[in-house]
Amino acid sequence: MEKINRRTFNVKLTQALAGAALLSHIPLSYGLNSGRQDKKLGIALVGLGGYAGGQLAPALLKAEHCYLAGIVTGTPSKEKEWMDKYSIPKENVYNYENFDNIAKNDAIDVVYVVLPNSMHAEFCIRAAKAGKHVITEKPMAVSVAECDAIINACKENGVKLGVGYRMQTDPYTNEIKRLVAEKPMGEVQYISSDAGFVSGNNPDQWRLNKKLAGGGALMDMGVYAIQSSIYGAGANPVSISAQEFKTRPDYFKEVDESITAQMKFSNDVVGNMFTSYNANANRLFVSFRRGWAELNPCHSYGPLAGRTSKGEEIKFPFERYYQQTTQMDSFAKHVLTGSTNFAPGEMGKRDIIIVEAIYKSIEEGGKTIPLDLGDMGIVKV
């Protein structure tokens, strides 16, 4: 199959950085506006679980505009391990009790909150009050009210806010956005997005604790399905209805196992989404008037893959890269130069509005819930 022309990717690269990015096989400047800054921002990771250790920290080693400057952990044994592995000085190591002292540390510019969902709001707000820019891992928070509190705290303290939506700066995602915007196959008619995995047999994990997670599959993988549904449609939903299914009620006692939802969008596109903690699902299908495009896999760490009805392969020339590198470099560039914030707090809040509407529809027997989102959270690429 013929590959998508690289022109559609390279126009996103700044001329100054394109050569370096291509040489390193990492799309570091994808989606970034031009503007040169030699300063690197110091990022402190709050919460040193599997995602921080397996994805964020290695990704920061590849970053151009930011680096791993500090850590915040409630596990003393991790302090020396991380200090040795990433050359982090003792003065940049905090725990949850002395975290507020980070305000006095000029080496740390950004705080990235990677804690269980119910802890996002507290530490985002504390970081903002400490004068640090904030990235919160998805979902932004466990309620719209908490999202508002985070947004307000960042505004009041004059700091930037981003959500850890790594897909928003991924080249495969943005190729779908291009097809939707430029309409080479006509208008979008229908979308289908699936995101899920099999949870396994660990009933003690925090994701199955509603107090910590705020919900189940919907609050985790479901956010990816919501995101891809929206960029696949090129618009926000105006109504949604949903259903929940449980095949393992003894295991998923407190949280949702699998959810399906049907959406109508402001541009009259219709779509279905599916999310689950008990089924592997990783696909976006976009049906246009004169063809279709598909990403499969769509939500994983990459490399992703895709194709179109024209027999073209959606593929970019990067053998291995961290989506999180591009994500964090993009946010750092936003802080340094005022370039586009591809995952602002408004986007995170929008998605929680949709999450709450889905749960409400389920509670009311699948009733259609109207939404009035306008262009909230829509970022043009």
User: 47: phi > 0 → left, psi -120 to 50 → alpha, else beta; which?
Assistant: left
Q: Is residue 101 part of a domain?
A: yes
From first to last of its 381 residues, the chain has per-residue pLDDT tens of: 334 433 333 333 232 223 223 223 233 333 333 233 468 999 999 999 999 999 999 999 999 999 999 999 999 999 999 999 999 999 999 999 999 999 999 999 999 999 999 999 999 999 999 999 999 999 999 999 999 999 999 999 999 999 999 999 999 999 999 999 999 999 999 999 999 999 989 999 999 999 999 999 999 999 999 999 999 999 999 999 999 999 999 999 999 999 999 999 999 999 999 999 999 999 999 999 999 999 999 999 978 999 999 999 999 876 567 899 999 999 999 999 999 999 999 999 999 999 999 999 999 999 999 999 999 999 976
CATH of residue 188's domain is 3.30.360.10
Contact yes or no for 361/176 (Cβ under 8 A): no
In this structure, are 256 and 192 located in the same domain? yes
Question: Strand locations in 73-221, DSSP E?
Answer: 93-94, 110-113, 133-136, 161-163, 188-198
* Residue 334 domain flag: no
**CA pseudo-torsion sign 229, 233, 238, 243:** negative
Same domain, 172 and 162: no
The answer to whether position 155 is within a domain reads yes
- Looking at the structure, tell me whether residues 174 and 161 fall in a common domain: no
3-state secondary structure of 40: coil
Determine the length of the chain.
Answer: 381
Tell me if residue 136 falls in helix, strand or coil. strand
What is the identity of the amino acid at 224? Y
Domain boundary among 104, 132, 166: 166
Q: Where is 242: in which H helix or E strand?
A: strand 237-245
- Given this model, what pLDDT does residue 15 score? 27
Q: Do 234 and 283 share a domain, yes or no? A: yes
Count of C-beta atoms within a 10 Å radius of residue 338? 11
Q: Does residue 140 sit in the same domain as residue 277?
A: no
- Tell whether 133 and 177 lie within a shared domain: no
Asked which of 166, 190, 222 is the last residue of a domain, the reply is: 166
Closest CA to 135 of 207, 46, 39: 46
Number of domains in the chain: 2
Rg (alpha carbons) of the chain, rounded to whole number: 20
Task: State the Cα–Cα distance between residues 337 and 17, nearest whole angstrom.
Answer: 15
In angstroms, the CA 108 to CA 102 distance is 8
- pTM of structure: 0.90
Here the CATH number for the domain that contains residue 106 is 3.40.50.720
Where in the sequence is the domain holding 366, given as residue range(s)? 168-318+345-370
CA distances from 292 to 17, 81, 174, 179, 200 (A): 33, 48, 16, 10, 34
Among candidates 371, 355, 179, which has minimal Cα distance to 284? 179
**Same domain flag for 194 and 289:** yes
Q: Report if residue 261 sits inside a domain.
A: yes
Output the pLDDT for position 13.
29
Q: Report which residue type is found at 15.
A: Q
Instruction: Walk across the sheet containing 258-265 and list its strands.
Output: 2-3, 312-314, 306-308, 291-295, 278-288, 188-198, 270-276, 258-265, 237-245, 369-370
Identify the domain boundary among 123, 139, 166.
166
